[in-house]
Structure 1
Amino acid sequence: MQRAWVTSSSYEMAVALLIETRSTAALSQRDLADRLGKPRSFVSKVETRERRLDFVEFVAYARALGLDPADLMMMVAQRVGPDVVF
């Protein structure tokens, strides 16, 4: 059972961006997990919205994708727009 905060349209758009960014970087889930020092299931659960990233994990995730966390946050903010629903 998924909780409401992982099924909102805003969170769905944010996760879609994470998936697109990983794909654009030509990284598999395993590649990203290795960079994070986590099991592949960690990335899978984030991407299937079974698990939500906390703030510190978001920073590590962005860096593992080769991005500045502030830049990734700006990309997320632009994607979800001004009417964030959570």
Structure 2
Amino acid sequence: MEKTLASARHRALIEFLIEQRQAAGITQAELATRLGEYQSFVARLESGQRRVDVVEFLAIAEILGFDAAAALRQLAEA
């Protein structure tokens, strides 16, 4: 199994999350605050330096207002 960081699916996930955050009109700092984290946490996620775990993904989906299950189905095809 290949490393997940920098894999095609990981890049697709990161691109998707950035697009969703921008579409919601939320800055990295605002998302971080709502997650109870620092802005650097979101920056590391979006730069691909850190993985997104399932619980974080669900929280981000809730904050940004997208369907987590539908997003995973879409990303599975990437």
Q: Secondary structure at the match of 1:17?
A: helix
CA deviations 1:1-30 (Å, max 9, x no partner) are xxx321111211111011011011111101
Give the paired residue count.
76
TM (norm. structure 1) is 0.77
Q: Secondary structure at the match of 2:41?
A: helix
The higher-RCO structure (CA 8 Å, 6+ apart) is: 1
TM (norm. structure 2) is 0.84
Find runs of 4+ consecutive structure 1 residues off by over 3 angstroms: none
Shift of 1:71: 3.0
Aligned alpha-carbon RMSD (Å): 1.4
Matches within 5 A, 1:24-63: 24-63=23-62
| Structure 1 unaligned blocks of 5 or more | 81-86
- CA distance, structure 2, for counterparts of residue 35 and residue 26 of structure 1: 14
- Amino-acid identity (%): 38
Q: Secondary structure at the match of 2:5?
A: helix
Contact 2:9 2:75 in 1 (8 A): no
- State the match for 2:14 in structure 1: 15
Contact 2:29 2:38 in 1 (8 A): yes
- State the match for 1:64 in structure 2: 63
